[in-house]
């Protein structure tokens, strides 16, 4: 484990009691502070990305609605064109019948 040997070294008389522990405590506190700063930076980045994602999702939803509206407009224009072409065909046939009836007289 990471804490093994802490009491063993002091008990054997290699270093004065507590000196090694104080150094390790300072190192651990320094590491904790560094990680805390990293966490703050990562949290700010996460919040920024969350806001950007929300804006992009809203824009995507808006674009999807516009796409559907554009398709509906295209579909309606296609229907109107088909109706107009149908009327044109009917009127041409009527004109052709009227001309051919006039030619037969």
Token pair recorded at residue 81: 């064109």
Look at residue 8 in the predicted model and tell me its pLDDT: 52
Residue 49 and residue 54: Cα distance in Å, rounded?
A: 8
Look at residue 104 in the predicted model and tell me its pLDDT: 76
Token pair recorded at residue 31: 């590491």
Evaluate if pTM is beyond 0.85. Answer: no
pLDDT in tens, the chain (105 residues): 555 555 555 455 565 667 889 999 999 999 999 999 999 999 999 999 999 999 999 999 999 999 999 999 999 999 999 999 999 999 999 999 999 987 776
Q: 70 — phi, psi (to 5°)?
A: -65, -40
Q: List the chain domain ranges.
A: 9-104
Question: Which DSSP string corresponds to 12-78?
Answer: TTSS-TTHHHHHHHHHHHHHHHHHHHHHHHHHHHHHHHHHHHHHHHHHHHHHHHHHHHHHHHHHHHH
């Amino acid at each position: 484990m990471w804490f093994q040997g802490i009491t063993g070294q002091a008990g054997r008389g290699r270093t004065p009691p507590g000196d090694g522990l104080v150094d390790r405590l300072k190192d651990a506190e320094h590491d904790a502070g560094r990680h805390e700063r990293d966490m703050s930076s990562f949290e700010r980045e996460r919040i920024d990305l969350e806001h950007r994602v929300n804006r992009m999702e809203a824009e995507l939803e808006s674009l999807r609605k516009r796409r559907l509206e554009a398709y509906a407009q295209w579909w309606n224009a296609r229907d109107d064109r088909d109706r107009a072409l149908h009327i044109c065909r009917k009127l041409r046939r009527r004109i052709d019948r009227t001309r051919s009836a006039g030619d037969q007289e």
